[in-house]
Amino acid sequence: QVQLVQSGAEVKKPGASVKVSCKASGYPFTGYYVHWVRQAPGQGLEWMGRINPSGGTTTYSQNFQGRVTMTRDTSTSTVYMELSSLRSEDTAVYYCARLSVAVTLYGMDVWGQGTTVTVSS
Amino acid sequence: DIQLTQSPSFLSAFVGGRVTITCRASQDIGSYLAWYQQKPGKAPRLLVYAASTLPSGVPSRFSGSGSGTDFTLTISSLQPEDFATYYCQQLEKYTFGQGTKLDI
């Protein structure tokens, strides 16, 4: 079935980096952007950026420019999101979600299960 | 940047009732709007895309309307499983509204 499966929870110290993976299955990997959205405890959803698995092009939110890097491995249908210079405010659940390259009007119809990242000294 | 403002932030209702959540965009986004439902500890679920289209599997008691800058999500005949938080999202720059928590 169509699914996105994310890597497990992470605990990091301030200043470190974290790399979260999102493995796609059940659909053409290059036909859908993969977006990353995070949610701090008790807060709303925040869009971080997206990657086009076809060519690897990325678009990042200005809020994360310079700290986030999204990459992909087409051989394993996996997308990665790396966030650097972590601070306590980056403690959140990080989600990946797909959105059609052809028709962005369709919305984010499949989501990963979420990865909890805790930043603590 | 395109800002989305949802109202209300909190909403109390009862099973069998009807509620409407609004989402206002800071500039014209046409029909580039989606609505999501999120329950505690779960990933968001797509409820409406293109402002008014329901994906397969979404009950017909959910409906979306609007275009340009003003949008609404209406839930008629509320069911116990509908009590959750709802977010709108604009599909040009992908920002989300701040959310509306629907409580019993």
pLDDT of residue B102: 96
pLDDT of residue A68: 98
pLDDT digits (tens, 9 = 90+) for A60-71: 999 998 999 999
pLDDT digits (tens, 9 = 90+) for A100-120: 888 888 899 999 999 999 999
Banded pLDDT at B104 (limits 50, 70, 90): confident
pLDDT digits (tens, 9 = 90+) for B55-101: 999 999 999 999 999 999 999 999 999 999 999 999 999 999 999 99
Q: Which amino acid is at B84?
A: A
User: Does B1 have pLDDT greater than 90?
Assistant: no
| Phi and psi at residue A61, to the nearest 5° | -65, 145
**B52 contacts: CB under 8 Å, gap ≥ 6:** B31, B63, B64, B65, B66
Average pLDDT, chain A: 96
User: Does A15 have pLDDT greater than 90?
Assistant: yes
CB contact under 8 A, B87 and A109: no
Contact A51, A33 (CB under 8 A): yes
pLDDT of residue A65: 87
Share of chain B above pLDDT 70, in %: 100
Chain A partners within 8 Å of B10 (Cβ): none
Banded pLDDT at A43 (limits 50, 70, 90): very high
What is the rounded distance in angstroms from the CA atom of residue B21 to the CA atom of residue B99?
A: 10
pLDDT of residue A39: 98
Chain B partners within 8 Å of A99 (Cβ): 91
What is the rounded distance in angstroms from the CA atom of residue B33 to the CA atom of residue B25?
A: 9
Q: What mean pLDDT comes out for the span B37-49? A: 97
Out of A44, A97, A104, the one facing B98 most closely (by C-beta) is A44
Out of B91, B98, B99, the one facing A107 most closely (by C-beta) is B91
Residue located via tokens 């720059």:
B93
